[in-house]
């Protein structure tokens, strides 16, 4: 992980003449300092009551209108919101940075629940491409299928699809967990950097292609491994974690996790060694 | 980025013109430079329906060169003369727009190659479609504009495919608009979303085999490629499966014939497609909202996987 501490002294890059400005800013430690917790204000958040429930019919609304109304309801303290008639509209529920119970009675289009931090969401339908992109925290459960790029670049939270998902699931993910009850398409875990993916069914070709780090667990058949994705031993601690996670996800609780295949990065593509490019080619 | 949509009713007819208009209009944000329909109407199957153009739409946004309308009349006269020479009899004639015509023709042959070559030897004339059920209608503007212009909302048939185009690599004109007719095969049409990267290599090979290209739109290659495979004896499905390796690039495309509708997705699944399938209806489109325009109730849909080819019969 990058060192985010503020430093006043000359860095190596400064000494090398790559830049001259002195880098300043809040350090990561200061940002999360519990002593200053009361000063921490997360823009766009509200105190909500989960027992305060309402319904919102978005049939005649555009996505921006619907999202604005969700924000308005949160500002009034509603902690449980049921969305009626989403009808495959794009970009619904994006940018929610709140604790919130959100229930969609129907399917979402592209980019549903993108860039969220904290809500608990249940979608009683299907989702299109790039569902929950950049999710930071929270739990999102999809009752049916999902399109491609499911959970692209998520940083945290649990993203669960009870059906099957398309190609490039978990592409570029940097944390969190993706759990799929059915099958997944090609390039699952493409360039993932951290986090975990669990697929109970089959996966397509090029699984984990160019993954930097993270772990993928597959319950079914694997089309093919991608570049630098390699099988690894399934440990007892992995099995315990899988059982726990599948229970929390309300999915595959009785699934025999001992038969799962674990995939990790071979780290041959890492640029953290002294090999020249032509030597690296030989190493792979 | 373009959007594609298609539907097939199994065992019954429906108002496919209006249904496809709704689907394509829902996708208009994916491109509204031009919109095209391939509609498979209910006919008695006796006569050919030829949709052709004798010029381009030179309205706002068009990349075509303005021509005097009088040349359209001259070209039409030559088409009529050539049809007579070929032994084809015009049963019904409709001039929908100055540059766009629809003929019902009594013509007793299965080989449309010679027929098409002769008609298209007239400069500025292009057959948009030829078949006993198929009618390809394409023009500049979004789905509603084209539907209203050509009065398509009342067309009844079994299946249809369509395309909302954002022009990227070729002109904003009718010749580059989808769907493409699977020349010279009766009732074959294609729409495509994506980019083909081995277009010129394939085009040169196919031209050497006598196939014709009317535009420089990469998508036209799919229609010609599949038509050539069928010419060599392959079935529609076999031709589509061959395209997964023969065509390079990213694509999702639909092909329709008189009694079937098929879809194919490239091996990287790079282009979107959402599919709804039931016993009596298959509807698919680049986005779910296209399907929702004909099925607003809650339904089960899914994304086909990489390298998947599917064909449905009416």
| HEC sequence for B196-232 | ECCHHHHHHHHHHCCCCCCCCCCCHHHHHHHHHHHHC
The model's pTM: 0.83
Residues B265, B278: contact at Cβ < 8 Å? no
Q: Rounded distance, CA A165 to CA A150, Å?
A: 7
**pLDDT score recorded for residue A9:** 55
Residues B168, B30: contact at Cβ < 8 Å? no
Interface predicted TM-score (ipTM) of this complex, two decimals = 0.78
Q: Rounded distance, CA A236 to CA A194, Å?
A: 21
Low-confidence stretches of chain A (pLDDT < 50) are 1-7, 19, 25-31
To the nearest whole Å, the CA of B301 is away from the closest chain A CA by 7
A-chain residues near B291 (CB < 8 A): 88
To the nearest whole Å, the CA of B285 is away from the closest chain A CA by 12
Question: Residues A2-6: contacts with CB within 8 Å, 24+ apart?
Answer: A4/A28, A5/A29
CATH of B3-43+138-313, one of 3.10.100.10, 3.40.50.970, 3.40.50.150, 3.60.20.10: 3.60.20.10
Closest CA to B251 of B286, B295, B299: B286
Tokens encoding A141: 């459960």
A-chain residues near B268 (CB < 8 A): 167, 186-187
What confidence tens digit (pLDDT) does each residue in A97-110 have? 999 999 999 999 99
To the nearest whole Å, the CA of B311 is away from the closest chain A CA by 20
**pLDDT score recorded for residue A277:** 63
Residue B281 pLDDT > 80, yes or no? yes
Residue A103 in contact with partner chain B when CB distance is under 8 A: no
Does the distance separating the beta carbons of B306 and A185 come in below 8 Å?
Answer: yes
Q: Rounded distance, CA A147 to CA A150, Å?
A: 6
Q: Rounded distance, CA A270 to CA A167, Å?
A: 24
* Nearest chain A residue (CA) to B304: A166
**pLDDT score recorded for residue A267:** 84
Residue B295 in contact with partner chain A when CB distance is under 8 A: no
Tokens encoding B206: 């196919």
What mean pLDDT comes out for the span B17-27? 97
A-chain residues near B296 (CB < 8 A): 87
**pLDDT score recorded for residue B108:** 87
A229-232 sheet: strands from edge to edge: A49-57, A78-84, A101-105, A117-123, A137-142, A158-161, A174-180, A194-199, A215-218, A261-265, A229-232
Would you name the residues of B annotated as active-site residues? 2
C-alpha distance from residue A33 to each of A28, A97, A132, A215, B287 (Å):
9, 20, 28, 30, 45
**pLDDT score recorded for residue B64:** 79
Query: Is the preceding omega at residue B179 within 30 degrees of 0, hence cis?
Result: yes
Q: Computed from CA positions of residues A251, A253, A256, A257, in that sequence, does the dihedral angle turn out positive or negative?
A: positive
Can you give the residue ranges of every domain in chain A? 1-40, 52-283
CATH topology for A52-283 is: Pectate Lyase C-like (2.160.20)
Residues B85, B68: contact at Cβ < 8 Å? no
**Phi, psi (5° rounding) for residue B70?**
-60, -30
What confidence tens digit (pLDDT) does each residue in A161-218 have? 999 999 999 999 999 999 999 999 999 999 999 999 999 999 999 999 999 899 999 9
Considering only the beta carbons, identify the residue of A128, A167, A205 that sits closest to B288.
Answer: A128
Does the distance separating the beta carbons of A166 and B305 come in below 8 Å?
Answer: yes
Q: What is the DSSP string of chain B?
A: --EEEEEEESSS-B-HHHHHHHHHHHTGGG--SEEEEEEEE---SSSEEEEEESS---STT--SPP--HHHHHHHHHHHHHHHHHHT-EEEEEEEEETTEEEEEEE---S-HHHHHHHHHTSTT-EEEEEESSEEEEEEES-HHHHHHHHT-TT--EEEEEEEEE--SSS-SSSTTSSPEE-TTSTT-EEEEEEEESSHHHHHHHHHHTT----S--TTHHHHHHHHHHHHTT--HHHHHHHHHHHS-EEEEEEEE-SSEEEEEE-TT--S--EEEE-SSEEEEESSHHHHHTT--S----B---TT-EEEEE-
Tokens encoding A116: 């969220």
**pLDDT score recorded for residue B60:** 76
To the nearest whole Å, the CA of A103 is away from the closest chain B CA by 15
**pLDDT score recorded for residue B171:** 81
**pLDDT score recorded for residue A27:** 42
Tracing tokens 């394939």 back to the chain, one arrives at B202
Closest CA to B270 of B301, B307, B223: B307
Tokens encoding B269: 């699944």
What confidence tens digit (pLDDT) does each residue in B204-250 have? 999 998 888 888 888 889 999 998 998 899 999 999 999 999 999 99
* Nearest chain B residue (CA) to A59: B296
Contacts of A44 (CB under 8 A, 6+ apart): A71, A95, A97, A98
Can you give the residue ranges of every domain in chain B? 3-43+138-313
Three-state secondary structure readout of chain A? CCCCCCCCCCCHHHHCCCCCCCCCCCCHHHHCCHHHHHHCCCCCCCCCEEEEEEEEECCCCCHHHHHHHHHHHHHCCEEEEEEECCCCCCCCCCCCCCCCEEEEECCCCCCCCCCCEEEEEEECCCECCCCCCCCCEEEEEECCCECCCCCCCCCCCEEEECCCCCCCCCCCCEEEEEEECCCECCCCCCCCCEEEEEECCCECCCECCCCCCCEEEECCCECCECCCEEEECCCHHHHHHHHHHHHHCCCCCCCCHHHCEEEEECCCCCCCCCCCHHHHHHHC
């Amino acid at each position: 992980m990058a060192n985010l501490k503020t430093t006043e002294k000359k860095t190596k890059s400064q000494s090398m003449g790559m830049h001259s400005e002195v880098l300043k800013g809040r350090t990561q430690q200061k940002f999360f300092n519990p002593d200053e917790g009361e000063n921490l204000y997360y823009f766009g958040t509200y105190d909500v009551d989960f027992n305060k429930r309402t319904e919102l019919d978005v049939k005649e609304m555009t996505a921006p209108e619907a999202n604005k109304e969700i924000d308005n309801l949160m500002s009034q303290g509603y902690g449980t919101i049921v969305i009626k008639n989403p009808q495959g509209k794009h970009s619904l529920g994006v940018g929610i940075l709140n604790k919130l119970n959100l229930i969609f009675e129907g399917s979402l289009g592209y980019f549903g629940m993108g860039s969220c931090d904290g809500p608990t969401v249940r979608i009683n339908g299907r989702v299109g491409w790039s569902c929950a992109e950049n999710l930071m925290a929270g739990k999102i459960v999809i009752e049916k299928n999902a399109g491609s790029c499911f959970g692209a670049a998520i940083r945290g939270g649990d993203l669960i699809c009870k059906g099957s998902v398309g190609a490039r699931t978990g592409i570029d993910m940097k944390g969190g967990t993706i759990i799929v009850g059915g099958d997944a398409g090609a390039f699952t875990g493409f360039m993932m950097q951290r986090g975990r993916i669990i697929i109970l069914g089959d996966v397509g070709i090029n699984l984990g292609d160019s993954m930097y780090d993270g772990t993928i667990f597959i319950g079914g058949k694997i089309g093919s491994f991608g570049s630098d994705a390699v099988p690894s031993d399934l440990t007892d601690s992995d099995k315990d974690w899988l059982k726990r996670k599948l229970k929390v996800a309300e999915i595959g609780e009785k699934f025999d996790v001992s038969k799962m295949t674990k995939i990790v990065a071979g780290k041959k593509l890492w640029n953290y060694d002294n090999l020249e490019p032509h030597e690296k080619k030989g190493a792979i | 980025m373009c959007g594609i949509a298609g539907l097939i009713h199994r065992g019954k007819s429906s108002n496919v013109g209006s249904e496809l208009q709704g689907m394509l209009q829902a996708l208009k944000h994916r491109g509204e430079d031009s919109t095209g329909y391939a509609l498979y109407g209910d006919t008695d199957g006796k006569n050919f329906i030829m949709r052709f153009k004798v010029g381009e739409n030179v309205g706002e946004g068009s990349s075509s060169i303005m021509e005097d309308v009088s040349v359209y009349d001259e070209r039409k006269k030559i088409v009529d003369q050539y049809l007579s020479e070929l032994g084809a009899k015009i049963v019904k004639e409709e001039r929908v727009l100055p540059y766009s015509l629809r003929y019902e023709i009594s013509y007793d042959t299965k080989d449309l190659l010679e027929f098409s070559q002769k008609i298209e030897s007239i400069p500025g004339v292009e057959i948009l479609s030829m078949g006993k059920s198929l009618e390809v209608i394409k023009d500049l503007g979004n789905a509603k504009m084209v539907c209203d212009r050509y009065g398509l909302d009342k067309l009844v048939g079994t299946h249809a495919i369509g395309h909302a185009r954002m022009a990227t690599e070729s002109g904003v004109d009718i010749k580059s608009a989808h769907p493409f007719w699977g020349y010279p095969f009766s009732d074959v049409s294609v729409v495509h979303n994506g980019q083909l990267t081995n277009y010129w290599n394939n085009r040169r090979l196919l031209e050497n085999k006598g196939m014709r290209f009317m535009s420089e739109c990469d998508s036209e290659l799919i229609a010609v490629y599949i038509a050539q495979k069928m010419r060599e004896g392959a079935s529609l499905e076999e031709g589509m499966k061959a395209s997964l390796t023969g065509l390079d690039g990213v694509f999702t495309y639909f092909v329709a014939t008189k009694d079937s509708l098929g879809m194919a997705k490239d091996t990287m699944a790079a282009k979107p497609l959402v599919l709804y399938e039931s016993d009596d209806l298959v509807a698919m489109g680049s986005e779910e909202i296209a399907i929702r325009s004909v099925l607003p109730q809650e339904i089960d849909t899914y994304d086909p996987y990489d390298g998947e080819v599917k064909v449905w019969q009416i």
